[in-house]
Amino acid sequence: MNVLILGGGQLARMLILAAAPLGIRCQVVDPAAESCAADLAPWHRMAWDEVLVRRDLLDWADVITYESESVPCALLTALATQHKVAPSAEALQLSGDRWHEKQWLSRLGVPVAPHRCIDSLADLQAATAELGFPCFLKWRQQGYDGKGQWRLNAHSDLASIWQAAQQRPSILEAGIAFTREVSLIASRRAGGELVCYPLTENRHQQGILIHSRPLADDPLQAAAEAHARRLMQAVDYVGTLAIEFFVVDEQLMANEVAPRVHNSGHWTIEGAETSQFANHLRAICDWPLGSTRLLAPTLMLNLIGQWPSEALTLAERGAHLHLYGKAPRPGRKVGHLTLRARSEGELMSHWLRLQPLLPRSEQPSSSE
C-alpha cells in the first residue's frame, strides 16, 4: 500500500514510523523550507497547486492523506475526483474555519461556548457588549498553539487587539469557567467501524499543549464517544480525528475539532495497544482497526523549545523519548516524552524525578 502524505511535520514523521511495520510505503509533499519527515521518506518540496500535475506521485499513491490544516481544501476536492483522499475535504473545510466549525457542532447538538463572527472593530465592540469579559478573539483560520488568539479583559483592549489580529476574519468566544480540558481521539473506517481511545486530560500553557494523561474510567467517556460518533458519521469521516472539550459543570463543551492525528494522542504510541497513527493508516487503507486499550498508566509531556539530555532522560524507567529532528527554537515543539508505569503512584514518581531535566516551561505546576 502506498500513502502520499500532504504536510511534512512531526505528525507525518510519526505516521511514517507507524507505516513501516505495516508494509506501507510513504512519500511526503510540503512547500515548507524544511521537513522533519524527510529523514524517513522521500520529500517533495513544491507549491500545493503543483501536486495536481505530478502524475508520477498521484499514480503511485493508493491513498492520499494530510497531517496539517494548512493544506487547501480546493486541492483535496480536486484530488478526490480521481484519487482516494482521506479524511475528506469536507471534514477539513468544516473544522478549518472556526466559524463553520461552531455551526457544524451546534447543528449536530454538540455544546459550544457562546460566540460571534467578527469582521470589523464595530463587530468586536458589539460582540463584547453581548458576551462580556473576559473573552477571546481567535482567527477563523490558521491559528494554532496560541497563535492567532488574544484574551480581552476590558473595552480598552479592543482597538489594540483588533490591530494585533491584523483585522483578519475572526470569532469572539465568551470566557468559560471550565474545570478541566480533555480530548477524545477516535478512528473510523469507511464502512462505519469506529474505535475511541480513553478520554485524555490536557494542560495548556500560553495556548500550547504541555502534557496529556489518558484516564482509564472518566465518567464523561461515553458522552465524548457519542459526540465523536455523531460528528464522524455526519461527514462519513475516514481516518483519525480529535475533539478538544472544556469540562463545565461536569458536562462537555466542544472547543475545536482536528481532522487528523493529534498532539494529545501521542501517548498512544507506548500507552495503547494500537497507536493513533497506526489506526489512522488502518482506517484510510480500509483495514480492520486495532484495539485502543490503555496498557498502563501513561503521561505524555511536550518538549517545547529544547529537549533534555537523552542519556539522563532515558535512564528513568518507563521513559520514551521522541525527538522530531527540529532545531531548538522558543515556542517550537521539538519532541515529546512519554512515561509509562505500573501504577499511578509510580507514574507520578517518574514525573517528579524528571522535572529537573525538563525545560522550565514544561515543568508541571505544584498543584498537579
336 labeled binding residue = no
335 labeled binding residue = no
176 labeled binding residue = yes
204 labeled binding residue = yes
9 labeled binding residue = no
265 labeled binding residue = no
345 labeled binding residue = no
Residue recorded with cell 476590558: 154
Q: What is the 3-state secondary structure (H, E, C) of the chain?
A: CEEEEECCCHHHHHHHHHHHHHCCEEEEECCCCCCCCCCCCCEECCCHHHHHHCHHHHHHCCEEEECCCCCCHHHHHHHHCCCCECCCHHHHHHHCCHHHHHHHHHHCCCCECCEEEECCHHHHHHHHHHHCCCEEEEECCCCCCCCCEEEECCHHHHHHHHHHCCCCCEEEEECCCCCEEEEEEEEECCCCCEEECCCEEEEEECCEEEEEEECCCCCCHHHHHHHHHHHHHHCCCCEEEEEEEEEECCEEEEEEEECCCCHHHCCHHHHECCCHHHHHHHHHCCCCCCCCCECCCEEEEEEECCCCCHHHHHCCCCEEEEECCCCCCCCCEEEEEEEECCCHHHHHHHHHHHHHHCCHHHCCCCCC
224 labeled binding residue = no
310 labeled binding residue = no
34 labeled binding residue = no
331 labeled binding residue = no
255 labeled binding residue = yes
227 labeled binding residue = no
130 labeled binding residue = no
As annotated, the binding site for ATP includes 98, 138, 143-149, 173-176, 181, 204, 255-256
Q: Which residues are annotated as a binding site?
A: 98, 138, 143-149, 173-176, 181, 204, 255-256
